[in-house]
Amino acid sequence: MASEELIKGLNFALNREVSTFLRYMLQGASIKGAEWEAARQMYLSEVTDEVGHAQYLANKILMLGGTPELKPDLTPPPTDVRTMLKNDIAEEQIDVKGYMELAGLAEKEGLVDLKMKMEDQAADEAGHAEGMQRLLG
């Protein structure tokens, strides 16, 4: 069984992923105009990735003896595409830091597979931030 701190951290990450895929789904659907088509496609394609992260986290929480708790942030996203991208770059950077902290906790608890997965998810989120930065120019 994992520590309460680790389960709590995984639940926090789960809620960030659920909030992110909901936000990306709405943002991708709301973006209009040819100049932002690449951003629209990026958001729509990232939904699947974020759902995968959430699914992994929920399964891992259960496997470690915890209970997944869903309390997503349902704040409506901005309508301006530049603001969307800037906000989401900051959110992805927060996720990178969070996943690296979870990797450290997992390592302390001897959960090598979880440590590696958290590092992979941190790298994935860093890649999302870089892609968004590219779209901003």
pLDDT digits (tens, 9 = 90+) for 79-111: 999 999 999 999 999 999 999 999 999 999 999
At 29 the pLDDT is 96
Average pLDDT over residues 28-33: 95
pLDDT band at 1 (very low <50, low <70, confident <90, very high): confident
Name the percent of the chain lying above pLDDT 90: 99
Domain, as residue range, for 94: 4-136
Residue 42 is part of a domain; what is its CATH number? 1.20.1260.10
* Residue from 21, 25, 16, 125 nearest 72 by CA: 16
If you average pLDDT over residues 103-129, what whole number do you get?
Answer: 98
pTM above 0.85, yes or no: yes
pLDDT band at 131 (very low <50, low <70, confident <90, very high): very high
Distance CA 97, CA 12 (A): 13
Structure-block tokens of residue 25: 């789904």
Output the pLDDT for position 68. 98
pLDDT at 75 over 80: yes
Average pLDDT, whole number, for the chain? 97
Could you give the number of structural domains in the chain?
1
